[in-house]
Structure 1
């Protein structure tokens, strides 16, 4: 419902805002050859209005689901606005899902139309026999050859050329705008519905000074993909503020990131630690960071040394806590009032926490019996989350076990944490990743962070392996920096004055690469399976 005389909270309102305050602001895109291109907010809206007509011509009924299977691009972004504005449900499918997960998500969503990048048609062709519910396929051109299995698919540009611009119909605020799916590390991916109201409220929060602080003068560079919680909600926040955007598709090598940061005048970038570790390893000149003010980093532990090295470049690295169930952001690091007088090194340490709950979010700690625990900075419990825009259930039918995740409007996150009297959250671990050794808990996150502070370590993941005496002991899986020589003895010596002795890993395994999940986090389930019997 819309208050009398007010503006309905809708995706259409976000795009109108962008055109009103920044019609010519650029949304830049770097193609496979590194050549920049792009569009503007005004031009994007004109294409989006044509897209609403395309959806009707494709036979999408109001409230119908439309799946996308694409990398970050301006054309993919058009569907993020056009589908909800038409009153339909956007279903961004993670291209890193397994074939089985892709087929399951498309079937579960009920999508009858599916959009795919030309470059991804070969991958999707493997799943095509299991996509019997999809009636129409649309191919986004990207310079790649289209797989023969999609020879009869619609061309996106041809559809737009034949369409007539249609002003969007009024959409109820509580109508589902997008259906996002979690990583699916246990069982099938879980569907999380977000309404128009949720997207707008989250965007407002992202523009708050104590959150991302997105402003009209910003140029945002989301390295996180659109299919992952709508790139953490950054494109919608950019529309709310009228900010610029930069996309680079799947080409996220360190040199491409460095070039884009400098050439596009990026002020705010966001992505998982993998990107920033790789860029740090490249050691680009300071000119690359001339415009960059802040980096938002989340998804896994950030080495303290990395925060410090970016600070030396004049860039503040904020650690973020987010989850698909909350659309994206839950908490963010920052220096609160009364702490500006702390020495610079102590202020940097605040960015090593998961920060403070952003405006619109409430947090609490629960013990195993569901009792609320004190915020004293010492007591640990499972983190509970609720917000103005967060989901209150999963969409998967018959998943009774998930009902325990939501109770009385609160989400039980699965994160074990403490909260200090000032409100700073410190994640100890995921409940399933804690290591219980001799009846005492070891935080895998803390050990990983200490390992990645070693100058010759690029990545490190720590998992529990069975032990006859202690039940479980930590095993460290380590990726060395190129050209570096790292030894087990050297790492154990490095950790000895940083961690309790009994926290030190019993074993170290050196690998060229650590397996990642579909959301680019360390795949600890795969690591436990691989090393448990050793």
Structure 2
């Protein structure tokens, strides 16, 4: 008997509209708060698709977005992808040269821009790089003064769109979305997401401890320009969950207000967001009683952060793992039956562990000799993965594909991990961020997490510094809490690392700075620290304090 419809995003939009027509989407915009129902949302998605078709957009073309999380951006997710085009989310925080490369490489035909980001887009504009763009569409009902042309406001653009537009039946391998890597090692590389990749990713993240339910209120904090918002803008509609979009450059105060006003039950972000929100809540009476969990991913979540959220607000931080090339979530932490960890033990596991693989993902860990390592909780190697939502090629980059994808479809992640006997994956470090001292690895992530366990430490990052004898030695950059005794804290930093790890893992230099620089995804930018903060003075401190023997 022949099968049914293909794995298409259209089926999720159909479910949201038909089963949960009165569910709400709440959006903070430059014009104030905006509310409408899933039924109204779906109609506007069809009008957008129709308007794009009238503008000449064809199957496979790319429609770029340059925007924060709002309802217009949410409409692009389904409106563009369900008509057979690709929604290409451009990271707002990338440097001009990278934005130019991305637009030129993707050959975007339409560019939909948030009005609060118009000036930023104008700064990045280059006539040659943007030559493929035929129309700029400004979110809202008016166009501020701009040098970009031709330009039209979003509401006028969709005004003549057909509210009864019928989305086509698309093949599962039809590209539906596109994001670029953050370009930490060279130019950003494009990753295409097919209908099947998004469909299977959404089904995976709607299950288990990271599941989104119809009775949830999701604060979609993860920027929609960062790995498709971790696919949560697709998942909330599929699940029938009320969706809250925080709008332009949300501060901790904005998030706290929306959590209270809309009875938010869950959200997802990188750890630094939850650090900032917790700092804000220290001095402000914020009610987090409706929160079911926060999903923390993108980098390791400090154990102290997990502990503080649980102890001060009774909120669980659940660790997740993924990357641009994996749509992105492949792992999440969930206690297995019979283990039942709690308290400090659970904090430790959630902090160090990326969790267990979601159903559909296969992985193995390969050492420097190309051999697969055992699941013994100790052996280290690079994580390789494959699955229905794991990419097997980079866009227009055959050399990068050949370097990163094996013949049997495994993606080499560049992350160094170990796996416990129970199958929990502990991410030890990025391959590029390991400190190699005397031929041995020092895991910067584990050292950072230990340092951030000190009460007077707000943020900490560890980077390698060249050393004549040991090749590299660790140095720590630390943001201290206001009023801290930094002289005493410097000694505490070295001591607390030496308590848990070999003494030679302790940083040879500790420098206090106002803020750890962040990259385009909100994670600590160790590249910036290495390039701009590691100077001759720091190298001299490292040389003076380095161990004389291993």
TM bucket normalised to smaller: over 0.9
- For 1:142 and 1:259, the matched residues in 2 are separated by 26
Task: Give the aligned partner of residue 428 of structure 1.
Answer: 428
Contact 1:459–1:480 (8 Å) recurs in 2: yes
Q: For residues 198-242 of structure 1, what are the alpha-carbon distances to aligned partners after superposition, in whole Å with 9 as ceiling and x for unaligned?
A: 1111111111125x1111111111211001111101111112211
1:464, CA displacement in angstroms?
0.2
Whether 1:111 aligns to 2:108 is yes
1:151, CA displacement in angstroms?
6.5
Whether 1:51 aligns to 2:34 is no
Task: Give the aligned partner of residue 515 of structure 1.
Answer: 517
- For 2:19 and 2:309, the matched residues in 1 are separated by 32
Contact 1:65–1:113 (8 Å) recurs in 2: yes
- For 1:311 and 1:405, the matched residues in 2 are separated by 39
Task: Give the aligned partner of residue 225 of structure 1.
Answer: 223
SS at match of 1:82: helix
1:483, CA displacement in angstroms?
4.1
1:498, CA displacement in angstroms?
3.3
Change (3 A) 1:329 1:83: same
1:40, CA displacement in angstroms?
1.8
Task: Give the aligned partner of residue 343 of structure 2.
Answer: 344
- For 1:354 and 1:209, the matched residues in 2 are separated by 14
Q: Where does structure 1 differ by over 3 angstroms across 4 or more consecutive aligned residues?
A: 284-287, 482-485, 493-496
1:533, CA displacement in angstroms?
4.3
- For 1:117 and 1:485, the matched residues in 2 are separated by 44
Task: Give the aligned partner of residue 463 of structure 2.
Answer: 463
Whether 1:135 aligns to 2:134 is yes
Contact 1:73–1:247 (8 Å) recurs in 2: yes
- For 2:97 and 2:286, the matched residues in 1 are separated by 45
- For 2:479 and 2:145, the matched residues in 1 are separated by 36
Task: Give the aligned partner of residue 252 of structure 1.
Answer: 250
1:532, CA displacement in angstroms?
4.2
Please, which of 7, 15, 23 is the counterpart of residue 17 of structure 1? 15
Contact 2:136–2:149 (8 Å) recurs in 1: no
Change (3 A) 1:43 1:224: same
Matches within 5 A, 1:215-294: 215-283=213-281, 288-294=287-293
SS at match of 2:501: coil
- For 1:266 and 1:328, the matched residues in 2 are separated by 23
- For 2:47 and 2:400, the matched residues in 1 are separated by 42
Contact 1:122–1:147 (8 Å) recurs in 2: no
Contact 1:72–1:247 (8 Å) recurs in 2: yes
Matches within 5 A, 1:4-153: 4=2, 6-32=4-30, 35-128=32-125, 129=127, 130-141=129-140, 146-150=144-148, 152-153=150-151
Change (3 A) 1:343 1:100: closer
Whether 1:208 aligns to 2:202 is no
Contiguous gaps of at least 5 residues in structure 2: 537-550
Aligned residues: 527
SS at match of 2:497: helix
Task: Give the aligned partner of residue 171 of structure 1.
Answer: 170
- For 1:374 and 1:493, the matched residues in 2 are separated by 32
- For 2:252 and 2:493, the matched residues in 1 are separated by 26
Contact 1:466–1:532 (8 Å) recurs in 2: no
1:471, CA displacement in angstroms?
1.4
SS at match of 2:475: strand
Matches within 5 A, 1:364-403: 364-397=364-397, 399-403=398-402
- For 2:491 and 2:292, the matched residues in 1 are separated by 39
Contact 1:121–1:147 (8 Å) recurs in 2: no
Q: For residues 310-350 of structure 1, what are the alpha-carbon distances to aligned partners after superposition, in whole Å with 9 as ceiling and x for unaligned?
A: 1222211111111111101011112110012x453323322
Task: Give the aligned partner of residue 295 of structure 2.
Answer: 296
- For 1:142 and 1:432, the matched residues in 2 are separated by 46
TM-score (norm 1): 0.95
Change (3 A) 1:5 1:405: closer
- For 1:126 and 1:30, the matched residues in 2 are separated by 25
- For 2:141 and 2:410, the matched residues in 1 are separated by 42
SS at match of 1:20: helix
